[in-house]
Structure 1
C-alpha cells in the first residue's frame, strides 16, 4: 500500500515548535521554579513591604539603605522623584524579566517557606565563613551591608531587608547582565564574561561600603574589604545559580544574623 507524504514524515515534537514558556507540560521541581523571576518577586514582596513601611513609620529615625538612597537620587535627577517609584520599578523589572523569558505565569505557594529556609541556611553558612575568616585574620565580623556599628534595634533590621533587596537589585540583577553584554562585546565567550562580571560587580559591591567610594562610608580596611568581596562573590554565585529571590533573602538573613549574634 502506498504511504502518503504526511504518513512518512516524523511526528512533530511539540517541545520543538512551542514558544519557550509553553514547553513545560510537567510541574517544575523546586530548584527550577524558585529561580524564576515571578517566584522571586512573590518571595521578596514581604521584605520590600517591611522595609518601605518601616522607613515610613520610623520617619527621621529610619536607617535607609545606601543603595536605596543612590537609586532615588538618580531617579530624582531624571525628574522621577515619586516616593513609591523605586519599589514599583523593582517589581516591574522582575515582571519584565519573567515576561521576556516567556515563562508561564504561575508559581507554587508551597515553595515560599522552603525558600525562606534555604535563605536562612545560606545566611548561616555565610556567617560561619565570616567567623572563620575573622578568626584567621583577627578581624571583627561585619554585616555585608552595615557600617562599623551593628545593633539589634528594629530600625537596623528594617535596613537589612532593604539591603537584601536593593543591593541585590543593583549589584547583581542590574549590573551583572550589563557587564556580561559589555564584556562579550570584546569577543569574550559568555562563560568568561559571566565570571568577569561576577568579579567586577563584587569589587564594586565591596568598594561601595568605604569612604573613598562614597561619603559617609567606612574607613578603608583590607580585612573587611576582603570579606565583603568574598560575600559579593557568594551573592553573585547564588544569584547565578538560584535567582534573585534567594540571593536577596540570604543577603538579608546574613545581615540580620550578624545583628543578633
Structure 2
C-alpha cells in the first residue's frame, strides 16, 4: 500500500524525482537528437562520463541518461511514496524561488567582492540572452540534471555514508559531506580551464553554490534540487535583475 503524504514530504521522494527529472531527461536527449546528435552538445558531467569510459567498454552516448532514468524508476518501485501530478506547478514555483535565492546570494557576493576592490569574472549576462542558442539551452538542462545526480545524489550520499560508517556523529557527517561534495563540485568546474584563468572569487562562489544545492537536496529532495539548479541557470540567462 502506498504511503500518502503532503506536498512538503512527498517532494523529497522518488515519485517527485520521477515526475520532475524524467521529462527533463527526455527533453535533453530529444533536444540533442533533434540538433544532430553531436557529442559536443552534451553537458559537462555527461560528456566526462563518455570520455572517461575506456574504448573497449564504449557505450552509446545516451547511456548515462538511460542509467539515471532506470535508477530513478527502480527507486520509485522500492519507495512507494506518492507525489501527485497536481503538485507539479507548486514544485516549479518552489524551484524558481530557490533558484532566485541563489541568484540573490550571487549578487550579494558579487557586490561584497567588488567592494573589496575586485570583480567576479562570472558576468550575470550571457550570450544566450543575445542569440537564444538552442544548443546552449539543452546544455543547461543537462547540467542541471547530471551535476545534481553526480555531486549531490551520488557524491554527497557516498561521503555521508562513509563518514557514518566511521562513526562520525550525524550532524558533523552531514556538514562535512555537504562541504566536501561542494568543494569537489567547485573544483570540477575548473577542470580544463585555460592556464591563468583561475580566480579564487569564482572558486569560492561555486563552492557556496555547491553547499546551497546540497542543502536543497537534503531538505527538499533530488527532484527539487535538479529543478532549482536549472531555474538558477535560466535566471542567470534571462538576468531579470541586472542593471
Q: How many matched pairs?
A: 230
Conservation of the 8 A alpha-carbon contact between 2:126 and 2:236: no
Partner residue of 1:120? Answer: 96
Conservation of the 8 A alpha-carbon contact between 1:134 and 1:141: no
Q: Tell me: CA distance 1:142–1:85, structure 2 relative to 1, closer, same or farther (3 Å).
A: same
**Is residue 27 of structure 2 the alignment partner of residue 46 of structure 1?**
no
Pick aligned residue for 1:90 from 35, 43, 68: 68
Partner residue of 2:220? Answer: 242
Conservation of the 8 A alpha-carbon contact between 1:61 and 1:155: no
* Cα offsets for 1:139-161 (capped at 9, x unmatched): 347489xxx96533222221111
Q: Tell me: CA distance 1:109–1:225, structure 2 relative to 1, closer, same or farther (3 Å).
A: same
Partner residue of 2:51? Answer: 73
Pick aligned residue for 1:111 from 87, 92, 97: 87
Q: How far has the Cα of 1:50 moved from its partner? A: 1.8
Q: How far has the Cα of 1:197 moved from its partner? A: 0.8
Q: Tell me: CA distance 1:39–1:78, structure 2 relative to 1, closer, same or farther (3 Å).
A: farther
Q: Tell me: CA distance 1:189–1:199, structure 2 relative to 1, closer, same or farther (3 Å).
A: same
Pick aligned residue for 2:170 from 182, 190, 193: 190
Q: How far has the Cα of 1:217 moved from its partner? A: 6.3
Q: Tell me: CA distance 1:30–1:140, structure 2 relative to 1, closer, same or farther (3 Å).
A: same
Question: Which structure is higher in RCO with an 8 Å CA cutoff and minimum separation 6?
Answer: 2
Q: How far has the Cα of 1:134 moved from its partner? A: 0.7
Give the TM-score taking structure 2 as reference length: 0.85
Give the TM-score taking structure 1 as reference length: 0.79
Partner residue of 1:131? Answer: 107
1-side partners of 2:121 and 2:93: how far apart? 23
Q: How far has the Cα of 1:253 moved from its partner? A: 0.9
Based on CA coordinates, which of the two structures has the bigger radius of gyration? Answer: 1
Q: How far has the Cα of 1:37 moved from its partner? A: 1.3
2-side partners of 1:92 and 1:41: how far apart? 10
Give the superposed CA RMSD. 2.5
Q: Tell me: CA distance 1:142–1:57, structure 2 relative to 1, closer, same or farther (3 Å).
A: farther
Q: How far has the Cα of 1:84 moved from its partner? A: 2.7
* Secondary structure in structure 2 of the residue aligned to 1:134: helix
Q: Which runs of 5+ in 1 are unaligned?
A: 1-21
Q: Which runs of 5+ in 2 are unaligned?
A: none
Q: How far has the Cα of 1:75 moved from its partner? A: 4.4
Q: How far has the Cα of 1:99 moved from its partner? A: 3.8
* Cα offsets for 1:108-128 (capped at 9, x unmatched): 110111111111111111111
Pick aligned residue for 1:201 from 161, 164, 181: 181
